[in-house]
Amino acid sequence: MTCESAIETPRVTTATVLEAIKAYVESHSDHFTTQDIARHMAVEEYPVRAAVSWLNRNEEIEIVPGVRSKRYLAEPENPDTRRHTTSYSASVYQIREKAGKADFAALNRLFGYGG
């Protein structure tokens, strides 16, 4: 057995990312980026980005409107490599609030329908 095979890489799934998001929100902030969650889970960012995309599509989390996180790119090792920019912005997310069940009896009383 080599050292590399002895190190276990945590499995990144939408369920584990959602758990990590909830833990991060409890201990840090309501807003987070994929980089924050990847760092919290001690994993690479790419699989976290994929899970966050799925969670966003399925309305577990949502992008915070009008809020972006500025990221800076590392300078390339080869100085001949040109970039148009040294920074980019990343989405900031929050857990989507779930709506409660409607109280139709109270709504009917409020709007004068029924007794």
Return the exposure string of 45-80: e unless at least 16 CB atoms fall within 10 Å of the residue's CB, then b. bebbbebbeebeeeebbeeeeeeebeeeeeeeeeee
What pLDDT was estimated at residue 15? Answer: 96
Domains (ranges, CATH) in the chain? 10-73+84-97 (1.10.10.10)
In tens digits, the chain (115 residues) has pLDDT values of 455 545 566 789 999 999 999 999 999 999 999 999 999 999 999 999 999 999 999 999 999 998 888 877 777 677 676 666 777 788 999 999 887 787 888 878 888 776 5
What pLDDT was estimated at residue 114? Answer: 64
CA distance 61 to 45: 17
What pLDDT was estimated at residue 22? Answer: 96
What pLDDT was estimated at residue 1? Answer: 46
